[in-house]
Amino acid sequence: MKSLFFATILAYGLILPGLFFACNGNESMSEANSRNVADNQLSDNENYEKATFAGGCFWCMEAPFEKIVGVKSVISGYAGGEKPNPSYDEVSSGQTKYRESVQITFDPEQISYEKLLSIYWMQFDPTDAGGSFYDRGHQYTSAVFYHDAKQKELAEKSKTELAASNRFDKPIVTPIIEFTNFYPAEDYHQDYYKKNPGHYQRYRKGSGRDAFIKKHWGDKKMSSNSKYSKPSDDVLREKLTKLQYYVTQEDGTEPSFNNEYWDNKKEGIYVDVVSGEPLFSSTDKYKSGTGWPSFVRPIDPEFIIEKTDFKLLYPRTEVRSKYGNSHLGHVFEDGPEPTGLRYCINSAALRFIPKEELASQGYGEYLKLFEKIN
* Number of folded domains that form the chain: 2
322 to 116, 203, 272, 275, 352: CA distances (angstroms): 18, 25, 10, 9, 18
Residue 51's SS3 state is strand
Answer yes or no: are the C-beta atoms of 276 and 231 closer than 8 Å.
Answer: no
Q: Would you say residue 251 lies in a domain? A: yes
In this prediction, residue 79 carries a pLDDT of: 96
Q: Check whether residue 206 and residue 244 sit in a common domain.
A: no
60 is catalytic: no
Answer yes or no: are the C-beta atoms of 140 and 113 closer than 8 Å.
Answer: no
Answer yes or no: are the C-beta atoms of 298 and 280 closer than 8 Å.
Answer: yes
C-alpha closest to that of 247 among 344, 170, 355, 153 = 344
pLDDT band, residue 222 (cuts 50/70/90): very low
In this prediction, residue 16 carries a pLDDT of: 36
Q: Check whether residue 208 and residue 343 sit in a common domain.
A: no
The proportion of the chain whose per-residue pLDDT surpasses 70, expressed as a percent, equals 84
Q: Check whether residue 66 and residue 117 sit in a common domain.
A: yes
> How far is the C-alpha of 79 from the C-alpha of 114, rounded, in Å?
21
Answer yes or no: are the C-beta atoms of 268 and 282 closer than 8 Å.
Answer: yes
Q: Check whether residue 127 and residue 58 sit in a common domain.
A: yes
Q: Check whether residue 200 and residue 280 sit in a common domain.
A: no
- Which CATH number does the domain housing residue 267 bear? 2.170.150.20
344 is catalytic: yes
Q: Would you say residue 222 lies in a domain? A: no
| Long-range contacts from 12-21, C-beta under 8 angstroms, 24+ separation | 14/198, 14/202, 15/202, 19/199, 19/202, 20/199, 20/202, 20/203, 20/206, 21/134, 21/203, 21/206, 21/207
Mean pLDDT of the region 258-286: 96
- Return the higher-pLDDT residue of 149 and 8: 149
Query: Domain end: 217, 241, 275, which one?
Result: 217
The least confident of 12-16, 68-72, 123-127, 218-222 is 12-16
Q: Would you say residue 16 lies in a domain? A: yes
Q: Would you say residue 144 lies in a domain? A: yes
> How far is the C-alpha of 260 from the C-alpha of 75, rounded, in Å?
38
C-alpha closest to that of 111 among 50, 61, 70 = 70
Answer yes or no: are the C-beta atoms of 66 and 339 closer than 8 Å.
Answer: yes
Q: Would you say residue 348 lies in a domain? A: yes
Of 57, 116, 319, 328, which is the active-site residue?
Answer: 57
Q: Check whether residue 25 and residue 120 sit in a common domain.
A: yes
- Which CATH number does the domain housing residue 163 bear? 3.30.1060.10
Query: How many residues can be counted in the chain?
Result: 374
In 10 A of CB 17, how many CB atoms? 5
> How far is the C-alpha of 348 from the C-alpha of 246, rounded, in Å?
9
In this prediction, residue 289 carries a pLDDT of: 95
Q: Would you say residue 223 lies in a domain? A: no
For residue 234, the Cα-to-chain-centroid distance in whole angstroms is: 33
Q: Would you say residue 26 lies in a domain? A: yes
3-state helix, strand and coil shares in percent for the chain, rounded to the nearest 5: 30, 20, 45
pLDDT band, residue 25 (cuts 50/70/90): low
Mean pLDDT of the region 302-311: 86
Query: Domain end: 182, 217, 252, which one?
Result: 217
C-alpha closest to that of 217 among 303, 328, 111 = 303
Mean pLDDT of the region 162-177: 92
Report the mean per-residue pLDDT for the chain.
84
> How far is the C-alpha of 62 from the C-alpha of 181, rounded, in Å?
18
Q: Which domain holds residue 203?
A: 2-217
Whether the bond between 293 and the residue before it is cis, its omega within 30 degrees of 0, is no
pLDDT band, residue 372 (cuts 50/70/90): low
Query: Domain end: 186, 217, 248, which one?
Result: 217
In this prediction, residue 27 carries a pLDDT of: 43
Residues 357, 361, 366, CA angle at the centre, nearest 5°?
70
Q: Check whether residue 167 and residue 208 sit in a common domain.
A: yes
Q: Check whether residue 171 and residue 104 sit in a common domain.
A: yes
Q: Check whether residue 61 and residue 20 sit in a common domain.
A: yes
Residue 369's SS3 state is helix
Give residue 145's identity as a one-letter amino acid code: F
pLDDT at 81 over 50: yes
- Return the higher-pLDDT residue of 134 and 43: 134
Of 23, 60, 344, 369, which is the active-site residue?
Answer: 344
Residue 182's SS3 state is strand
Q: Check whether residue 50 and residue 182 sit in a common domain.
A: yes
Structure letter (DSSP) for residue 123: T
Residues 205, 203, 96, CA angle at the centre, nearest 5°?
125
C-alpha closest to that of 206 among 37, 12, 8 = 8
Q: Check whether residue 269 and residue 207 sit in a common domain.
A: no
Q: Check whether residue 53 and residue 170 sit in a common domain.
A: yes
Q: Would you say residue 30 lies in a domain? A: yes
> How far is the C-alpha of 22 from the C-alpha of 57, rounded, in Å?
9
